[in-house]
Each structure stands twice: as C-alpha cells, then as structure tokens.
Structure 1
C-alpha cells in the first residue's frame, strides 16, 4: 500500500505541475479571471494533497485500516475535488458547463477533510507510540 500511495502522490504532483502550466499558458486567453482562479484552486489543492499523500506513505506503516483509509481519502478526494473543478471550468469555457459536477466538488472537499482528520489521528497514535509519556 505504501508504494502505491507514493506512486499516486508522485503522479498527482506531476499532473499538478502540468495542469498548472497548462492553465497559466494555454488556457490564459480562453478562461475568464474567475475561471482561471477556480482552475488554479484545483491545481493548488491537488499539489497539497499529492505532498500529504507522500508524507503519509512515508510516515505510516499501514498496519491499521485507518491508515489505508487516510490514503484513499486523499486519492479519492483529489479526484472528486480537483478534477471536478477542472471539468467545470473547461466545460464552462466552452459554453457547455457540466453542472452535474457541481455537487461533486464539495463531496471531494469533505473527503479531503476526512483524510486530514484521519491523518491527525494516525500521526498522533504513531507519535504516542514512539514517545510514550515518562
């Protein structure tokens, strides 16, 4: 599991750089200022979660189900949150907004929040185990 999350984190990070460059250059003239900001939000959150996915993969031994769930929350949360934003922005720029993606974005955000809560719980467990109170 550790290796899978490291690879997915790397892929998400790489794609965030590509999408960021694509948004800043290729889409600059095609997107409104508001659309550009939304697209950048998707890229930024994708990069943040690529990094935390890598950190979690390094920090967690993945002996507990909650550690795996943490990783999957970040993986799925990015897909739902960032990729729905990309779809909404790009389809809106073409005048064919995919409105069904609207509710997907907050669901992705909620999934990311759950991932963070589980990360905090799991990292606290590890810290307690490594540094028991004296």
Structure 2
C-alpha cells in the first residue's frame, strides 16, 4: 500500500498545483470574493492533505500491513474529494447547497489524522 499512497499523493499534489494555478490565473476576475475564498480554501486543504497522503506512504514503507495507515490514507483521499471537491464545484457553479457535503470531507480529514496518530503511537 505504501507505493499506492505515494503515487496517489503525487497525483493529488500535482492536481492541487494545477487547480490552484487555474484559480489564481483563470478565475480571479470571474468569481465573487467569497467564492474565490472558498476555492482557495479548497486548494489549501487539498495540498495539506496531499502531503498527508505522502506521509502515510512514507510511514507505510517502514510499517507493513497497518490497517490504521490504510484507513488514514483513504480518509485523506475521501476528505480531499468531498471537502475540496465540494468547494471547487460550489465556487465554479454557485450551487451553495453543496456546502452541506463539505463538513463530511472535513470529518474524513479529522479521522485520517487521528488514525495516523494512533498508527504512529503503535
């Protein structure tokens, strides 16, 4: 699983740079200030949790067969999709009801960090 999380982490980080650059250079004049802030928050959390995925992959190279690490990695990925993804879609479409999904992604982030902490302790 280590290589899978490292690969996913690399892809996620690359996408975060592309999405961030698109927002900074292609959307700044098209979005309201509030929606631009939402978009930037999505990018920020996307990058931070991409680093989290890379961290899981690096630790998994030393620890074999850890369900806690696997859970942390998948939680980070789900969080990126739900949290950052909902903010991106909301900013681009103006559909604010998607904001109801965002906290679920935030919860997935929290679960991921708790699982990673427990895995490190063990």
Report the TM-score range of the alignment, normalised by the length of the smaller protein.
over 0.9
Q: 1:62, 1:68 within 8 Å by CA — same for their partners in 2?
A: no
What corresponds to 1:111 in structure 2?
A: 108
1:56-114 deviation digits (Å, cap 9, x = unpaired)? 1101224121221111000111101000100111001xxxx162x22210000000000
Q: Provide the TM-score with structure 2 as the length reference.
A: 0.93
Runs of 5+ in structure 2 lacking a partner?
A: none
Matches within 5 A, 1:121-132: 121-125=118-122
Aligned mate of 1:89, from 75, 79, 91: 91
Contact 2:39 2:87 in 1 (8 A): yes
Q: CA RMSD in A?
A: 1.1
Pair 69,20 (structure 1): closer, same or farther in 2 beyond 3 Å: same
What is the distance in 2 between the residues matched to 1:62 and 1:55?
14
Which residue among 63, 79, 88 is the counterpart of 1:77? 79
- Asked whether the 8 Å contact 2:6–2:57 carries over to 1, the reply is yes
- Native 8 Å contact 1:74 1:115 kept in 2: yes
Length-normalised TM-score, structure 1: 0.85
Measure the CA separation in 2 of the matches of 1:47 and 1:87: 17
